[in-house]
Structure 1
Amino acid sequence: MSDANRNIAANATARNLSPARVRQFKEAEARVKASNAPTLELIKRLVPTDSQMAAIAQRFPSVKVGEYDELFGAGLSLVRDQYETLAPILTSEDRHETNFTALKLVLDRIVGAAIGAAYGSANHYEGRRTAAKDATNSFSNEHRDEDRQGVDGGDNRAANLRRIAAEKAGHAYSLAVLAAGACEAYRDLMGSDWQPYQPNNRRSVSERAAAEEAAALGF
């Protein structure tokens, strides 16, 4: 828990903050941290599973999604090719041991780029999925108009939102599989799991509290 979180939790009663408001603050802080340092595990929680993606692709013909093995292999090659090309250049002998520091930094950034692309796409998909869900749920209103065909005979608004969400699902899933392949290659080559870069935050407690409060308010 951050210093700001501890302060808010401790002073919730004194400041008349409800448990819901405290929870919203914590959730906002978690989202900020995740966006600054997304992980493969977080991405997997946002994108469709293999079975869900198969069902989406079957139901929506417009969805484009690559083959799992091809995408995963592309992620593997993304890292392995760079390793093979750069290892003779970026490694050095240090006291009869090979120093991989410079090469590791490069591979960290390559995997980080794949993770960042997948995370951005996963977030976009989640936003489109939520919009489609909200529009579909609005059908429970007996005065609804969303499910009525337009004068041009086109898809209704909710159906169009579901189609867009399905297409974004294909994008997010594909990039997540590629990122998973990149992480697998990194683990094989470096002997450890890839970890997101965590900058050393030296801001004061008050500065961090102000930033987190702003995030909670959406600005």
Structure 2
Amino acid sequence: MASNRSKSSPKRETRQALTFEMALQLCPHEGVAENVAAAFGLIVPDYDAIRAEHASALKRMAEAFEGSLNDKATEMHFQRIVGALVGSAVGAGRFYSTKVGEARAATARAADGGDDEHGSPIGFESKAQRTREFAADMAMQAYALLAAAHGAIDAYKDLTGDDWKAYEAPAEAQVEKKAATAQIGAFGG
């Protein structure tokens, strides 16, 4: 007789929760953003304005519900929205960090006569220069996305009264224990 039981799924790796602290470590802070902007002729994103606008946007979103959500639903909904913005900042910070590493490596290779051994054609930038400029652009983007996440966290505190915490899935063992309890309960008694 064939069984229609599903096979157990392969063990999933638990993802590390993306926190604002991670974003702070990965993204450039104000001093780095100002130094990079000065060195590359870029404009530093207005951190305070971006932060305030994102906080305001989330508050307007909450107002649009006009009481349609209870407190728990509001908390869950905005926890996810803030999580997305924090995740975006973490991702941008990781990408920025990678590009800075690549820029350093390209600059070192060029200084040692590596990739740009024969120089670049007149009027064209070297590969190392383009790599540094791209890293600088990523610094400005990561800094701006950090500001957006910061504003979202501010709004979450105002909306819920609680500090935002990254969502962490329950441990696999807890889920399995709950499933086992439910299965045993199905037998009655």
Which TM class, normalised by the smaller chain length?
0.7 to 0.9
2:138 to 146, 162, 168: 168
Paired residues, number: 162
Q: TM-score normalized by structure 2?
A: 0.77
Distance 2:171 2:163 in 1: 23
Distance 1:50 1:149 in 2: 34
For the 8 Å contact 1:183–1:193, the answer to whether it is kept is: yes
Structure 1, unaligned runs of 5 or more: 1-28, 92-99, 204-219
For residue 105 of structure 1, what is the amino acid of its counterpart? M
1:126 to 97, 110, 120: 97
> Relative to 1, partners in 2 of residues 1:86 and 1:134: Cα closer, same or farther, differing over 3 Å?
same
Structure 2, unaligned runs of 5 or more: 1-12, 174-189
- Matched residue SS, 2:57: helix
1:55 to 35, 38, 44: 35
Distance 1:149 1:201 in 2: 55
Higher mean displacement: 145-154 or 37-46: 145-154
Deviation at 1:83, TM superposition (A): 1.9
Deviations 1:78-130 (A, max 9, x none): 32112222251112xxxxxxxx1011111111111111111111111111111
Computed over aligned residues only, the root mean square deviation of the Cα atoms, in angstroms, reads: 2.2
Deviation at 1:135, TM superposition (A): 1.3
Pair 1:42 & 2:22 matched: yes
For the 8 Å contact 2:110–2:128, the answer to whether it is kept is: no
Pair 1:75 & 2:46 matched: no
- Matched residue SS, 1:181: helix
Deviation at 1:145, TM superposition (A): 4.3
For residue 112 of structure 1, what is the amino acid of its counterpart? G
Which residue of structure 2 lines up, in the alignment, with residue 153 of structure 1?
A: 123
For the 8 Å contact 1:136–1:158, the answer to whether it is kept is: yes
Which residue of structure 2 lines up, in the alignment, with residue 85 of structure 1?
A: 64
Which residue of structure 1 lines up, in the alignment, with residue 172 of structure 2?
A: 202
Q: TM-score normalized by structure 1?
A: 0.67
> Which of these two proteins has the greater Rg computed from alpha carbons?
2
Runs of 4+ in 1 over 3 A off after TM superposition: none
What percentage of residue pairs aligned between the two structures are identical? 30
For the 8 Å contact 1:65–1:170, the answer to whether it is kept is: yes
Deviations 1:42-89 (A, max 9, x none): 10111111011011112213x454312210112211321122222511
Distance 1:167 1:64 in 2: 10
